[in-house]
Amino acid sequence: MNLSELAKQVETGKFKQHLEKHFPEDVALRLGGMTAAEIEREFKQVIQVPIRLSGEMGHELFELFYTASWFNLFDRLQVPADGMLFEIAAGDTVYIPKALDAYSSVAKYVTANLNKELSENFMRKTASLRIDIRVIQDDGIHILDYYPEGSFDVVSLHHAVNDIIQTIIANQEGIDTVNSNWWTIEPQMLQAVMAYHNRGELKNAAYGGFIGIIETLGKLLKPGGYMIFDNCTHEGYEKLGYSSEFHSAYIQLAREWIQEANLGLEEVKLEAYDSKWWMVLRKL
Ligand SMILES: C[S@@+](CC[C@H](N)C(=O)[O-])C[C@H]1O[C@@H](n2cnc3c(N)ncnc32)[C@H](O)[C@@H]1O
């Protein structure tokens, strides 16, 4: 979301409790003592293209940016306090469960996550949260085997369009994404996606699999429920033979493919959320 708006909220203490609970004491104290202009300047050092985590408080500001942005989305979209949220491909990133936990202690969170090692890390990292959390070690395409249609208020894809497409391509290339260490196979996956893209074959190879997942996730939502996507571009892609420019266009790629598939999801534009990096779809 918009950094100046977010900085103002941090200054007024909206995330004070969250900072005290989840961040090192010195970081919480430092951010707590800053003006909105100073906080915004700190955010701008990190939230850029590519994301810069190496500076002071880089990881904390990155986490705060996403947890606060998702928290504000739940607020703005009036997600019910006892709402159900499904995240596909969370890996071991826990920003959305933390945002949901801060939003309501009685909400329920479910993720489908294929990679074993990341799923185990995820469970460890969320063990202290108050909300009910379930990790399903399966492909998100099978989620209707676990929950009935129309049972979730929100479906989230945090920086996950890339993970889903990488996994589809990896399967076609015979790369094991379940039992491998994700970071060891990542260069191989990125290079494979790039090769398909450069040959003009990515859509042929990935559209069916990707749209199959989005259609399933659409069925999982209640009418009026939201499917929310975000994306960001990290440093170091070019070194791996991968393109930052290609990665930065993933939301637009998803938007075009989803529109073409005509799945009964309409886009909702939210002022503080840049549509290059965010997409909010509402189930009709
Ligand atoms: C690097 S983690 C991504 C974490 C998070 N999306 C982020 O960027 O911070 C990638 C995870 O997505 C999972 N994944 C990819 N496609 C999936 C699918 N169709 N269903 C379930 N998990 C999937 C992988 O198995 C892996 O655990």
pLDDT of residue 19: 92
More confident residue, 152 or 55: 152
List all residues 6 or more positions away from 198 whose beta carbon is below 8 Å from its beta carbon: none
Residue 162 Cα, ligand 1 centroid: separation in angstroms? 9
Model pLDDT for residues 139-153, shown as the tens digit of each residue: 999 999 999 999 999
CB burial readout 111-142, b (16+ within 10 A) else e = bbbbbeebbebbbeebeebebebebbeebbbe
Residues 6+ apart with CB under 8 A from 85: 79, 96, 100, 107, 108, 109, 110, 152, 153, 154, 155, 156
The domains of the chain, with CATH numbers, are 1-76 (no CATH), 79-283 (3.40.50.150)
DSSP code, position 234: B
In this prediction, residues 42-60 reach a mean pLDDT of 94
Cβ count near 277 (within 10 Å): 19
The model's pLDDT over 200-257, given as tens digits with 9 standing for 90+, comes to 999 999 999 999 999 999 999 999 999 999 999 999 999 999 999 999 999 999 999 9
For residue 276, CA distances in Å to 20, 96, 111, 189, 248 come to 32, 20, 25, 23, 8
CA 278–ligand 1 middle distance (angstroms)? 18
Mean per-residue pLDDT, 92-120: 97
Find the 110 Cα to ligand 1 centroid distance in Å. Answer: 13
Q: Whose CA is nearest to atom 10 of ligand 1?
A: 91
Of ligand 1's listed atoms, the one at least distance from the Cα of 163 is 15
Closest residue by Cα to atom 3, ligand 1, is: 91
| Closest Cα to atom 2 of ligand 1 | 91
Put simply, whether the predicted model's pTM sits higher than 0.85 gets the answer yes
Pocket-testing residue among 114, 146, 156, ligand 1, by greatest number of atoms within 8 A of Cβ:
114
Cα–ligand 1 centroid distance for 89 (angstroms): 3
Ligand 1, residues at Cβ distance < 6 Å: 88-91, 93, 112-115, 118, 139-140, 158-160, 163-164, 167, 177, 182, 213
The band of 125, judged by pLDDT with boundaries at 50, 70 and 90, is: very high
Question: How far away, in angstroms, is 104 Cα from ligand 1 center?
Answer: 25
The residue whose CA has the least distance to atom 7 of ligand 1 is 159
pLDDT band at 49 (very low <50, low <70, confident <90, very high): very high
Strand, helix or coil for residue 36: helix
pLDDT > 90 in the chain, percent = 99
Q: Give the C-alpha separation, 227 to 97, whole Å.
A: 16
Distance spanning both ends of the chain, measured CA to CA: 25
- The minimum-distance atom of ligand 1 relative to the CA of 141 is 19
